[in-house]
Amino acid sequence: MVFFSKKPIFGKTKKKEIPGGLWTKCPGCGELLYSKALRDNLKVCAKCDYHFRMGAYERIEVVLDHDSFREMYKDMSSKDPLKFKGLSDYPSKIMKDQKNTGLKEAAIVGEGRINGKRVALGATDFRFIMGSMGSVVGEKITRLIEYAGAEKIPLIIISGSGGGARMYEGMLSLMQMAKTSAALERFNSLGGLFISVLTNPTMAGIMASFASLGDIILAEPKALIGFTGPRVIQQTIKQDLPEGFQSSEFLMEHGLIDMIVHRRELKETLSRLMGYLCREETEKSAEG
């Protein structure tokens, strides 16, 4: 009787491969997180509370009432006024980021409701040329500010931009800082409420213009906020920087921002602030 055989009894088995994207490593604590659970938790690490970056539409979904957002000026796209030449020309760069993100530009603006209250809401997206402020981003933000003033509703802008003015557009990009700031001054003269929400990162030209001009400035925990990155500053001044420099917590301690708000609490915080600061208008809009 033959007890052993060279032939495998159960046949050949194939090694199963785990599909990519199922797990995400947390930059804050190094924990491996199940990607679906991370999304269900609003992209916040359940272990260390690290706030992952979110796209503009994701942020809008977190803040506004379900299906209440009406996007405006969504077909605007940048031109190439300087015929910029570099490692990649400007139109190619725009087309690449449009394909990768599904966005036309780095800013999404429109109107929606927070617990029934009408708001004009904008959000910038880091994934699109680092969320930098080209002429279209500046124009969309300016039009949103003017719309909020005309409709007499609160204005909320969620900033998540690591880039400043776009070199691809030269002065046309740089002037957007002044244009958005001037629009906010006119909005303020009308008695409008502007709440600025700073996320990781909020830097450069956007921080040096509309993002820092809120009547109330909120920030997510441990967000990088400033004009120039800490490494550049340290190399320039040849000095060590304070611990936690340019973090939300550091800026809160030094009076640059008003509140640090966890992502899960942002919607209710915005709703309360609107109730405190513009009760009459928000009640009318809720009734309408």
Taking only the tens place, the pLDDT of each residue in 204-223 is: 878 888 888 999 999 999 88
One domain for residues 41 and 149: no
pTM of the model: 0.82
Residue whose tokens read 């659970």:
37
Task: Specify the range with the lowest mean pLDDT, choosing from 6-15, 107-116, 263-272, 279-288.
Answer: 279-288
Please answer whether residues 28 and 50 qualify as being in contact, where contact means their C-beta atoms are separated by less than 8 angstroms: yes
One domain for residues 102 and 28: no
* 197 has pLDDT over 70: yes
Residue 218 lies in a domain: yes
One domain for residues 72 and 129: yes
> Rounded mean pLDDT of 2-9?
54
Average pLDDT, the chain: 84
One domain for residues 280 and 253: yes
Residue 264 lies in a domain: yes
Separation CA 240–CA 235 (nearest Å): 9
Q: Residues 6 or more apart from 150 whose CB is under 8 A from it?
A: none
One domain for residues 144 and 263: yes
One domain for residues 32 and 115: no
**How crowded is the C-beta side of 142, counted as CA atoms within 13 Å?**
16
Q: Residues 6 or more apart from 166 whose CB is under 8 A from it?
A: 129, 132, 133, 134, 173
One domain for residues 47 and 146: no
H-helix segments, the chain: 35-40, 56-63, 90-101, 135-151, 171-189, 204-207, 230-237, 248-253, 266-277, 279-287
Higher-confidence position of 183 and 134: 183
> What count of other Cβ atoms lies within 10 Å of the Cβ of residue 275?
14
Separation CA 96–CA 128 (nearest Å): 9
One domain for residues 166 and 254: yes
Per the structure, the complete domain to which residue 78 belongs is given by 54-287
* 239 has pLDDT over 90: no
> Rounded mean pLDDT of 149-177?
87
> Rounded mean pLDDT of 63-69?
94
Please answer whether residues 154 and 112 qualify as being in contact, where contact means their C-beta atoms are separated by less than 8 angstroms: no
One domain for residues 125 and 148: yes
How does DSSP classify residue 195?
A: E
> Rounded mean pLDDT of 126-153?
91
Residues of the chain with pLDDT > 70, as a percent, come to 84
Residue 10 lies in a domain: no
One domain for residues 121 and 204: yes
Please answer whether residues 192 and 182 qualify as being in contact, where contact means their C-beta atoms are separated by less than 8 angstroms: no
One domain for residues 34 and 72: no
pLDDT value of position 285 = 47
pLDDT value of position 62 = 92
> Rounded mean pLDDT of 188-215?
89
One domain for residues 113 and 37: no
pLDDT value of position 279 = 55
* 127 has pLDDT over 60: yes
Q: ∠ CA 7-8-10 to the nearest 5 degrees?
A: 145
207 burial type by CB count under 10 A (0-12 exposed, 13-18 middle, 19+ buried): buried
Residue 14 lies in a domain: no
pLDDT value of position 260 = 94
> Rounded mean pLDDT of 17-46?
82
